[in-house]
Amino acid sequence: APHLEPTTTAVVAGASGAAFALSLSVSSPRMQHLREEPETTAAPVRQPILAISHGGGPCFFMDDEEGMFRDINSKSTTADWFRKWLEADGALAEAAEAGDRAPYQRPQGIVVVSAHYEEDAPTVIDCGNDLHKLLYDYYGFPPETYELAWPVRNSEAMVHDIEKALAEHGFPLKRNRLRGLDHGVFVPLKLALPQADIPVTQISLLASLDPDAHFQLGQALAPLRDQGYLIVCSGQVTHSLSSFRLEADPEDVDPRFRAFTDWFDTLVTSKDISPEMRREMLLQWELQAPHARLVHPREEHLIPFIVAAGIAGGRPGKKAWDNGFVLGTLSLNAYIWA
């Protein structure tokens, strides 16, 4: 069986154009001068927050009809959901409408927090003027999955805005100019943005995996939403490789993993939980959640969801996608905050 690494608008929304106000009377001695108003750019519209389960390795680019990824292959409904993110009837447009920000305006950049990158301090992948490299951080998959290409760039303005947002909350930002985007980034976003025409970058987790530090990291990233940046937190609601059951049907779910997922769904989406209580429960997830360490022997795949909750200020989100479980234990749930 394939082995997954255990660790882990410019579109400025809106159009820009010059506005001209002409007031000219050739018959009057008080003839006014031609007046040109300065060019203006529409202000970015607040972007949603997405927290996703990114599946297994490059599964969404595989035509695996009978193997372990048969239910999350390139033809799966989950792959189709990823493909529709940025479309007029996709998850982001629905969230914009729910947040009274219709019509949806595409992000001017996408910032991804992935479970597969950890550093001692927040670190951004900065490819400068080059294309991002891709990091094929999965093992034992078909040869063609190591040839996937996605010609995407970041932008210096986006990196600067991230740096400024973090600095205002006391987080120093490092830049990594050598690393590529890992599969927690390029697999879902290559589906959603095959034309690669929006700048993308990735921010690391903290190697401490401290829940409170990551909630605060989310709070620091929150202002980027109002600058037109979509923030995608990419992990997995459940993640225990040793618990995969390769022959399990979607209906054959380990009840302990379902119990954890039900607990997590309620915690993320319930309007009866205050922001303060939601934060406290997330920080104490290991004590609060049923079967916590069975479901997450190591919590790097849960931490991106805590970052998302921090960005949202502890407010409830909505379930954006639920296609059940695969492999008996792997939840595909995703959440969105308008």
Q: Output phi, psi for 32, to 5 deg.
A: -85, 155
SS3 annotation, 35-104? EECCCEECCCCCCCEEEEECCCCCHHHCCCCCCCCHHHCCCCHHHHHHHCCCCCCCHHHHHHHHCCCCCC
- Distance CA(54)–CA(233), nearest Å, equals 10
Residue 215 forms part of a structural domain:
yes
Q: How far is CA 333 from CA 53, 81, 112, 236, 301, in A?
A: 6, 12, 17, 8, 13
- Distance CA(289)–CA(301), nearest Å, equals 15
Are 224 and 161 in contact by the 8 Å Cβ rule? The answer is yes
Q: Which CATH number covers residue 166? A: 3.40.830.10
Tokens of 112: 């991804």
Residue 128 forms part of a structural domain:
yes
Q: What is the DSSP track for 166-217?
A: HHTTT---EEESSPPB-HHHHHHHHHH-TT--S-EEEEEEETT--HHHHHHH
pLDDT digits (tens, 9 = 90+) for 236-260: 999 998 888 877 777 789 999 999 9
- Distance CA(50)–CA(106), nearest Å, equals 14
Residue 44 forms part of a structural domain:
no
Residue 91 forms part of a structural domain:
yes
pLDDT at 247: 76
**3-state helix, strand and coil shares in percent for the chain, rounded to the nearest 5:** 35, 20, 50
Residue 81 forms part of a structural domain:
yes
- Positive or negative, the Cα torsion across 104, 233, 315, 289? positive
Nearest to 309 by CA among 237, 217, 229: 217
Residues (pLDDT < 50) of the chain are: 1, 3-40
pLDDT at 102: 65
The reported pTM is: 0.86
Nearest to 120 by CA among 179, 177, 204: 204
pLDDT at 103: 73
pLDDT digits (tens, 9 = 90+) for 286-334: 999 999 999 999 999 999 999 999 999 999 999 999 888 988 899 999 9
pLDDT at 35: 36
pLDDT at 228: 94
| Residue 9 identity | T
Domain that holds residue 282: 49-337
Q: Domain count for the chain, please give it.
A: 1
160 contact partners, CB below 8 Å, separation of at least 6: none
Which 8-state DSSP code applies to residue 112?
E
Largest Cα–Cα distance of the chain, in whole Å? 89
pLDDT at 15: 33
Residue 42 forms part of a structural domain:
no
